[in-house]
Amino acid sequence: ATSPTKPSVVWLPFQECTGCTESMVNSFAFSGGATIENLILNLISLDYHETLMAAAGDRSEQRLKEVTKSGHILIVDGSIPAPWDGSQRNGYFISGGRSGAKRFEAAARTARLVIAVGTCASFGGLPKANPNPTGALSIGALMTRLGIKTPLINVSGCPPIPEVMTGVILYYLAKGMPALDSQGRPVMFYGDTVHDDCYREEFFEDGPFVQQFDDGVSRKGGCLYKVGCKGPVTHNACSRIRWNQGTSFPMMSGHGCIGCAEPDFWDGLNFEGKQ
Ligand code: SF4
Ligand code: SF4
Ligand code: F3S
C-alpha cells in the first residue's frame, strides 16, 4: 500500500538497459545516509518500479493508475521513441497497451516533479545515437512537445553515480528544487568537470601523457588526454564522489572519461584526444 506520510515515488522505464536501476540499488551512503535501504524503507514510498516490485500484468497496471493520480515524484529512465504525440497505440515502445509517450504523459502531467535519470532520459543517450532508428527523444524534449509543465531535473550519466541519484531525491525532499545548470542538472553534482578533481590533473599541461593504454606512464599516473580522455569537457562528480562505495573512477583503472554524462556523447564528442 502507499504510505500516508512518506512522499510517493513512481519509477517508469522506457528505452533503457536497466543499468540506471542497477546503479541506484548500489547507493551506499552520501552525506547523511542516502543508502538505497534507508531511502526506500524510511524516507520515500517507492510505489511503482517494474524491476523491483512483485506485481505484474493487470495488477501492475492497476497499481500504476492508483499511484499516479497526483503529487508523486516521477523518476524516468530511458528515452522515448516515436510516435511522440501520445495518441497512438503503435510504435517502437508499447507497454500496458500504450505507447511510451502516452504512458509517460499520463504519469507526468499529475506529478509534482519529474527526474530524468541517466543520459538516455536526460539527453536521448544510446538509443538516440546516430542514426537514431527509433526517433528517440529525451524526457525534456518530449515534455516540451507535449506541453507538460511539471518541473524537471536531469541526472545524467550512463549510468549516473548511485549516491548522486539518491542525493538529488533527498535534497529535493529536504530543500526543494536544487540550482540547475544549462543542461537541467543539479549544480551541486555537475558544476565541476571530471577533470577538475582528477588526481592525474597535475600532468595535464606538460605531461607526461599516456600514449598507449597501460603503458609505463599510465601506471605512474600520467594524463590520459592523448588516449581520448574527455574529462575536461564532462560535467560529473566521478573524481569527487567516485564509484563502488567511493573506491575508484575510470581514470584510476587507466581509462579516460568517455563523456557519458554529456548530451550526444556517443556521436558528438571528439575522441581523437590531444595531439
Ligand atoms: Fe542504460 Fe546508460 Fe541509458 Fe542508464 S543511461 S538506461 S545505464 S544506456
Ligand atoms: Fe584531465 Fe583526463 Fe588527464 Fe584526468 S586523465 S587530468 S580528467 S585529461
Ligand atoms: Fe562517465 Fe566520465 Fe564519469 S565516462 S562515469 S562521466 S569519468
Question: What are the pLDDT digits (tens) for 151-180?
Answer: 999 999 999 999 999 999 999 999 999 999
**Overall average pLDDT of the 138-147 stretch:** 96
Note the ipTM here.
0.98
Q: Which ligand is located closest to the Cα atom of residue 117?
A: 1
DSSP 179: P
8 Å CB contact between 27 and 244: no
Beta carbon of 234 within 6 Å of any ligand 3 atom: yes
Residue written as grid cell 541517466: 118
For residue 66, the tally of other CB atoms under 10 A from its CB is 12
Q: Which residues pair with 137 in a beta bridge?
A: 80
**Atom 6 of ligand 1, residue of closest alpha carbon:** 16
Tell me: is residue 195 an annotated ligand-binding position.
yes
> ∠ CA 144-75-131 to the nearest 5 degrees?
55
8 Å CB contact between 150 and 113: yes
| Residue 164 CA, ligand 1 centroid: distance in Å | 15
| Residue 119 CA, ligand 1 centroid: distance in Å | 6
**Atom 2 of ligand 1, residue of closest alpha carbon:** 158
- Lowest pLDDT segment from 31-35, 122-126, 225-229: 31-35
Phi-psi region of 124 (alpha: psi -120 to 50; beta: other; left: phi over 0): left
Residue written as grid cell 601523457: 209
Biggest CA–CA distance in the chain, Å, is 62
Q: Which ligand is located closest to the Cα atom of residue 235?
A: 3
pLDDT at 168: 95
8 Å CB contact between 48 and 10: yes
Q: Residue 274 — pLDDT band, cuts 50, 70, 90?
A: very low
User: pLDDT tens for residues 190-211?
Assistant: 999 999 999 999 999 999 999 9
Of the residues 158, 257, 262, which should be mutated to test ligand 3's pocket, given the most ligand atoms within 8 Å of the CB?
Answer: 257
Residue written as grid cell 515515488: 9
pLDDT at 51: 92
**Overall average pLDDT of the 62-66 stretch:** 96
Q: Residue 5 — pLDDT band, cuts 50, 70, 90?
A: confident
Of the residues 227, 258, 265, 271, which should be mutated to test ligand 3's pocket, given the most ligand atoms within 8 Å of the CB?
Answer: 258
| Residue 208 CA, ligand 1 centroid: distance in Å | 34
Rounded distance between C-alpha atoms, residue 201 and residue 196, angstroms: 7
Q: Over 90: is that where the pLDDT of 233 sits? A: yes
**Overall average pLDDT of the 123-142 stretch:** 95
- Lowest pLDDT segment from 91-100, 194-203, 211-220: 91-100
Distances (CA, A) of 28 to 37, 76, 156: 9, 21, 19
Q: Which is nearest to 249 in space by CA: 236, 261, 238?
A: 238
Beta carbon of 16 within 6 Å of any ligand 1 atom: yes
Residue written as grid cell 536531469: 154
For residue 89, the tally of other CB atoms under 10 A from its CB is 10
Tell me: is residue 235 an annotated ligand-binding position.
no
pLDDT at 271: 46
The C-alpha cell at 151 is: 518541473
Tell me: is residue 72 an annotated ligand-binding position.
no
Torsion of CA 192, 193, 196, 200, to 10 degrees: 150
Dihedral pair phi/psi, residue 137, rounded to 5°: -120, 150
Torsion of CA 259, 159, 242, 233, to 10 degrees: 20
| Residue 82 CA, ligand 1 centroid: distance in Å | 19
Q: Over 80: is that where the pLDDT of 35 sits? A: no
**Overall average pLDDT of the 13-36 stretch:** 81
Phi-psi region of 157 (alpha: psi -120 to 50; beta: other; left: phi over 0): left
pLDDT at 29: 60
pLDDT at 209: 98
Q: Which residues pair with 180 in a beta bridge?
A: 186
User: What is the set of domains in the chain, with CATH numbers?
Assistant: 8-188 (3.40.50.700), 192-253 (4.10.480.10)
**Overall average pLDDT of the 11-37 stretch:** 82
Q: Which is nearest to 124 in space by CA: 275, 262, 271?
A: 262
Tell me: is residue 229 an annotated ligand-binding position.
yes
The C-alpha cell at 34 is: 542516502
Among the residues of the chain, which ranges form H helices? Answer: 19-24, 36-38, 57-67, 100-108, 118-123, 139-146, 162-175, 187-190, 216-219, 238-241
